[in-house]
């Protein structure tokens, strides 16, 4: 009987310590819980998850809340836990055929956005690599009108996205340019 009491006490103590460890370190068992907690902390949302994708040790969520869009990274921690990173929403300017935003993390660059013109079938971004040569990345996959384009490139704290960004184009089904911009946002 004494052994059973000690086992129950120890299991209860482990559960309490695990709970405290998770709360103090901002850890969650699911990436969705981490996402919604980050939104509550920002007094934003709850947003609708449109699409999620994994890249490296992170899961990214394309989300929409009222007239705002976001793409928040949720990072894996110690294999079983999730922790939220920097996230925020940007207001969709609906009079633009294509509205975009961007983020970077280590060597990864990400542009995401929403098409406000249903004729848009493909989006391309043109950027400069570390050698100053132009590279084009694109996407023809849309998730409820949202999209993302991710690529690896040189990314240190001294590089601004405006220094590597060249242009953004959107095409219709026939390959005709319907949107062309020298500005990312």
The confidence band for 48, taking pLDDT boundaries of 50, 70 and 90, is confident
Strand partners, 72: 61
How confident is the model at residue 167, as a pLDDT?
85
Cis omega before residue 93 (within 30°)?
A: no
Between CA 65 and CA 183 the distance in angstroms is 24
Phi, psi angles (nearest 5°) of residue 55: -150, 120
Between CA 85 and CA 73 the distance in angstroms is 6
The confidence band for 120, taking pLDDT boundaries of 50, 70 and 90, is very high
How confident is the model at residue 44, as a pLDDT?
76
pTM over 0.95: no
Mean pLDDT of 122-135: 84
Top-confidence range, 19-33, 58-72, 75-89, 145-159: 58-72
Q: Which residues of 52-87 are buried (b: 16+ CB within 10 A; e: fewer)?
A: beeeeebbbbbbbeeeebbbbbbbeeeeebbbbeeb
Between CA 45 and CA 70 the distance in angstroms is 11
How confident is the model at residue 123, as a pLDDT?
92
Q: Determine the 3-state secondary structure of 31 from DSSP.
A: helix
């Amino acid at each position: 009987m004494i052994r059973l009491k000690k086992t129950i006490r120890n299991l209860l103590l482990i559960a309490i310590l695990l709970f405290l460890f998770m709360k103090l370190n901002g850890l969650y068992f699911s990436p969705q819980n981490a996402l919604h907690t980050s939104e509550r902390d920002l007094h934003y949302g709850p947003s609708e998850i449109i699409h999620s994708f994994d890249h490296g040790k992170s899961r990214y969520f394309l989300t929409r809340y009222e007239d705002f869009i976001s793409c928040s990274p949720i990072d894996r921690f110690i294999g079983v836990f999730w922790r939220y990173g920097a996230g925020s929403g940007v207001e969709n300017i609906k009079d633009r055929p294509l509205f975009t935003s961007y983020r970077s993390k280590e060597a990864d660059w990400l542009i995401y956005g929403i098409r406000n013109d249903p004729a848009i079938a493909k989006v391309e971004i043109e950027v400069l690599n570390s050698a100053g040569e132009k590279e084009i990345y694109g996407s023809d996959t849309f998730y409820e009108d949202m999209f993302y384009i991710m690529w690896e490139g040189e990314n240190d704290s001294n590089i601004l996205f405006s220094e590597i960004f060249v242009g953004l184009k959107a095409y219709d089904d026939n390959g005709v340019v319907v949107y062309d911009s020298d500005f990312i946002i």
